[in-house]
Amino acid sequence: MALFIAIFSFPEIDLDYNIGIDPPLKWLYNHLFSERLTIGREIIFPHGPLAFFMYPLADNFILSALITIFLQTVFVFHLFSLLGKEKWQYWILTAVSSWLIFSLSNFNQLILSNISVAFLLFLSNKKPAPKYFGLVLTAFAFYIKAYVAIIAGTLTFSLLALNFFWNKNYKQTFIDVTVLLGSMLLLWMLIYKQLGGFINYCIGMIHLAGDNSAAAAYYPNNNWWLITPFLIIIGSIAFLQKTRKGNFFGFLFSLSFFATWKYGMAREDYYHARTFLYFIVVSMILFLIYNHKKRIINTPIILGALVLFTANMRNVENPQPLVINYSGIENFIRFVSSFQQIREASDKQNTINIASNRLPETVRNQIGNASVDIYPWDYTIIAANQLNWKPRPVIQSYAAYTSWLDKKNAVHFSSANAPEYFIFGLNNITPDLNGGKLVSIDNRYLLNDEPQTLIELIKNYSRVYSNENFLVYRKRVQALDVNSLLTETLSTKWNEWITVPNYTNQLTRLKLHIGRSFSGNVKSFLYKDELYYMYFKTKDGSILKYRIVPQNAADGIWISPFYTSAGNYSPSETITEALLTCSDKKMVESSVNYEWEHFDIDTKTINNFFGKDSTNIPEIYVNESILLESDNPNWNGFDPQKVITDRTNNQKFYQLKPTDFSPSFKLDIDSLLKTPKRITVDCWIKTDPNDHSTLVIETESITGEKNWQGIEINRQIIDQDELNLVFSYIDLNSQIKKVTIYICNNGNKPVSIYSMNIKLLKTEF
């Protein structure tokens, strides 16, 4: 029966990978395991050395499938034993429950499901075999992914603590802990053939988990009337049974519920929220099986709670329909009948997918077999060019979001162990709110991801080649002697502009020291940290905004020379003022201390490093702002009666009531499109982040066809009590003859427009 269920739950055969941020990890971890696992001994990343089990490619698929089937088979046996009866009804219940759990489970959830049912079986019959299976599997999880390791660790800690307080058996607890730690060390030895690096790996996991919410969180508008009763029911239902089994289950799973809540709701996109939901679903299925009393009452209560959370799933980032995998038998048939053909087709498709990351032949020949690393994250450059990869500790720039993690990379690049070359991939596919090409994930500025590491790269590497896709660097024979000078510590308030000192021809950074209030610490622990942004005002009056991470901000926010791209696309900007804002000032200390950091390295050297041999300076054709104190002949629909004075700051604003449209600006541009053009729109706005309004750029082609591009304003609202910059842009082509720009309030609350500026400029993007 177990094998039959495993066949009907056979994993999907997906042997493709691609360029980008996350897709290259699939190639990377499969490549490490298949070819050079030992070179990854120093890697500190949310994915462990055995992460290929999550997304196996052709060389590792059979091994992954065998381990998956083994885990599924053991789970079925343990679940049947947990039911404790051999009546035909329990065979059916085991089969249906197992198939449902496997249909919801990826490889990570399958591990956690096995640990959960093994520990419940031990609590039920006190036989040690399931417990030790769970302990060994926890050690295995430690090398898959940080999330799986943490959840498995909380389950194991809870079991050992529960067992100790129940039996007060010090010797048995010592044996159990020894089995766990011994298994972890044994696996490390099997993987890397030595113990070196193990402690570093453990510390790195703590750092990766500790500041994740400040670095990688989304902030959707949750319906807490749905989430709160869900949490109350799921968190208390086991204890409300007032039975020993109910209490055991509650104590065993409470920490893991909280840990998965933090994982799912800190990031809070569809994938992470779904992971949390599926873990709760599997846990509640096990609860109903383990605690069979009052099952008729508990089942509808649990289903009702799950419906509440599912209803809120439409509010998460990038919501999608929840699906169950029904295609296991089809996957198995495809595997048995045509795996080799699927493999060959995937190999051809992968070559096509990563072809854009091929280096010119002369550059590839110059590098030869020298060691190479990739910055910031697209390792398919290694795959596309068959390069000799030497990884740094934190292998993607966005994940080095604490000083400790950043320091690891900085020390690496300044050491004798640094690669001979590193390649800066410019095919950045992440969207930039400002329209630039030097953005990290989640609207962060790439040059702020690793402040310490970036300085070491500039000191130790010089550029030897550049084109529109790559900057290629080689290690200097002698590192540059670069020193920095810190100013005295100053203080600023939130939402106050800081004047940038005029230190020309120098690299300048701003070191920020952000502290949370007591309530902010509580919120960060129970839910997530605040959303932090900085506004940068340029010499020409434009405003750029980027998200910042408090931990890295203390090591330096890049100020001057400020680049919006690498290569020859655009010149550096001169930043004259900077402003710090966050989503809720009650959750942070009222003032922020800062210092200016100046490096004795000239701008010419910095420009050379980032490929600024020559720059294409944007030419502005139109620069038009809405006027709130006079007539607006170029803005259709302007109503002076809607202009109101804000008594808090004595500024005027144009109020849009629900269903209202703002004045629209129309531009006839068909005669200007001989060269590439871009329309940019920036507005200072106050509105409720839970409401909905849209900034619209509408284009009309020479054939009369209209195209409507709208961005949701509430997605760019950081603090509803302050003015928020909302920005949008569109690149035009020769088919466009007219552009119309306006704001539509399709929410239920007013929108206050304090300014609205439109530019038409020449661009080389």
Q: Three-state SS for 670?
A: helix
Q: Which of 203-217, 339-353, 369-383, 444-458 has the lowest mean pLDDT?
A: 203-217
Q: How far apart are CA 482 and CA 456, in angstroms?
A: 9
The interaxial angle of helices 244-267 and 270-290, nearest 10 deg, is 170
Output the CA–CA distances (angstroms, integers) from residue 629 to 713, 754, 759, in the order listed: 24, 11, 21
pLDDT at 763 > cutoff 80: no
Percentage of residues of the chain with pLDDT beyond 70: 97
Question: Which pLDDT band, with edges at 50, 70 and 90, does 673 fall under?
Answer: low
What is the distance between the alpha carbons of residues 478 and 467, in angstroms, rounded to a whole number? 26
Each residue's pLDDT tens digit, 310-360 = 999 999 988 888 888 788 999 999 999 999 999 999 999 999 999 999 999
> Would you place residue 504 in the very low, low, confident or very high pLDDT band (cuts 50, 70, 90)?
low
Average pLDDT of the residues in 63-82 = 96
**Region of residue 442 (phi > 0: left; psi between -120 and 50: alpha; otherwise: beta):** left
Helix (H, G, I), strand (E, B), or coil: what is residue 438?
coil
- Give alpha helix (H) positions in 449-516: 451-460
- Output phi, psi for 726, to 5 deg: -115, 125
Q: Give the three-class secondary structure for 650.
A: coil
CA geometry: angle 474, 478, 483, nearest 5 deg: 105
Q: What integer pLDDT is reported at residue 604 of this predicted model?
A: 87
Percent of the chain scoring above 90 in pLDDT: 71
Cα angle 44, 46, 49; round to 5: 65
DSSP string, 189-237: HHHHSS-TTHHHHHHHHHHHHHTHHHHH-------HHHHHHHHHHHHHT
Q: Could you report the per-residue pLDDT of 255-277, keeping only the tens digit for each?
A: 999 999 999 998 899 999 999 99
The packing angle between helices 146-167 and 198-210, to 10°, is 100
pLDDT higher than threshold 60 for residue 117: yes
- Residue 86: what pLDDT? 78
Q: Would the pLDDT of 210 be above 80?
A: no
As a whole number, mean pLDDT of residues 91-112 equals: 94
Confidence of residue 671 (pLDDT cuts 50, 70, 90): low
pLDDT in tens, 222-252: 999 999 999 999 999 999 998 999 999 999 9
d(CA 275, CA 106): 9
Q: Higher model confidence: residue 75 or residue 669?
A: 75
Q: What is the pLDDT of residue 558?
A: 95
Where does the pLDDT of residue 670 fall: very low under 50, low under 70, confident under 90, or very high at 90 and above? low
Model confidence over 563-618: pLDDT tens digits?
988 887 677 888 999 999 999 999 999 999 999 999 988 888 998 999 887 666 66
pLDDT tens, residue by residue, 404-426: 999 999 999 999 999 999 999 98
The C-alpha angle 611, 613, 618, rounded to 5 degrees, equals 95
Q: What is the DSSP string of 514-543?
A: --B-HHHHHHHHHT----EEEEEEETTS-E
Mean pLDDT in residue range 377-381: 94
Query: pLDDT value at position 764?
Result: 59
700 strand-pairing partners = 706, 738
Which CATH number applies to 620-762? 2.60.120.260
Strand order from edge to edge, sheet including 736-744: 635-636, 664-668, 736-744, 694-701, 706-712
Residue with tokens 């490096």: 599
Q: What is the mean pLDDT of residues 283-299?
A: 92
Helices (H) and strands (E) in the chain, counts: 22, 25
Every domain of the chain and the residues it spans? 2-315, 359-475, 484-609, 620-762
Is pLDDT at 105 greater than 60 in this prediction? yes
Give the residues across from 512 on adjacent strands: 594
Q: What's the distance, Cα to Cα, between the start and end of the chain in Å?
A: 59
Mean pLDDT score, 522-532:
92
- The average confidence (pLDDT) of the chain is 91
Q: What is the DSSP string of 45-96?
A: SSB-TTGGGGS--HHHHHHHHHHHHHHHHHHHHHHHHHH---SHHHHHHHHH
Task: Flag whether pLDDT at 503 surpasses 80.
Answer: no
CB atoms within 10 A of CB 21: 16
Would you place residue 379 in the very low, low, confident or very high pLDDT band (cuts 50, 70, 90)?
very high
Q: Spell out the SS3 assignment of 13-52.
A: CCCCCCCCCCHHHHHHHHHHHHCCHHHHCCCCCCECCCHH
Name the CATH topology of 484-609.
Jelly Rolls (2.60.120)
428 pLDDT band (50/70/90 cuts)? low
Rounded CA-CA distance 109/285 in Å is: 14
Per-residue pLDDT, 429: 62
pLDDT of residue 297: 94
Could you check whether the bond before residue 451 is cis, i.e. omega within 30 degrees of 0?
Answer: no
**pLDDT value of position 616:** 62
Task: Give the model's pLDDT for residue 432.
Answer: 80
Is residue 69 over pLDDT 90? yes
Joined tokens for residue 309 = 């959370």
